[in-house]
Amino acid sequence: MHRIRIVKGDLTRENVDAIVNAANSALRGGGGVDGAVHRAAGPGLLAECVERYPNGCATGQARITTGHDLPARHVIHTVGPVWQGGAAGEPGLLASCYRSVIAIAEEHGLTSLSFPAISCGIYGYPWPEAAKIALSEMARESHIEDLRIVLFSNDIHKVFTTVLEELQSD
């Protein structure tokens, strides 16, 4: 768990091997962090998504593209679950997002990876529950040297920091 860094800031400014995009299953852009990633990457990102992934991406899975105009070399797009109360498989699907992204990053030999808080915005996942899953899955990873989660606001940063402290003291 020592390698996980919780950062406050804008994911699109991260100078890493890959940033992770909290996308929707169409992989055609959207609001939230997805909109910010597409704006910062430029239109080439959408064109690559359309060409390489005509069928989009299922919830819990991930797909890689290049970073286009972003400082990051790649974008790994993943589709988090929409929160429906917790009994519709949301925890397993959210864990699967983190695992799928990390598996793709390892396949490509990437050593620095920055996540957003997947499903914690428009998709409505409760932050403490999402933080526990995100940080536990990130902690299982063994090959990526620089693993970050980049959070936009003080409020969510505080929640993730508290959950990381709790996990470290267990």
121 sits near ligand AR6 (criterion: CB under 6 A): yes
Active site residues: 34
56 contributes a contact to ligand AR6 by CB under 6 A: no
Least distance between ligand AR6 and beta carbon 142 (Å):
25
Helices (H), the chain: 32-41, 43-52, 90-107, 127-140, 154-169
d(CA 93, CA 80): 7
Burial of 2 (0-12, 13-18, 19+ CB in 10 A): exposed
Q: Is 19 in the site for ligand AR6 (CB under 6 A)?
A: no
Cβ atoms of 33 and 21 within 8 Å: the answer is yes
Q: What is the spatial distance between Cα 60 and Cα 80, in angstroms, rounded to a whole number?
A: 6
Number of residues counted as binding ligand AR6 (CB under 6 A) = 24
62 binds ligand AR6 (CB under 6 A): no
Question: Between residues 41 and 150, which has the closer beta carbon with respect to ligand AR6?
Answer: 150
CB of 56 to ligand AR6, least distance (A): 11
Binding to ligand AR6 (CB under 6 A) within 73-112 occurs at 80
- Part of the chain binding ligand AR6 (CB under 6 A), chosen from 8-16, 47-55, 69-77, 104-112: 8-16
Among 4, 18, 33, 135, binds ligand AR6 (CB under 6 A): 33
**31 or 108: CB nearest ligand AR6:** 31
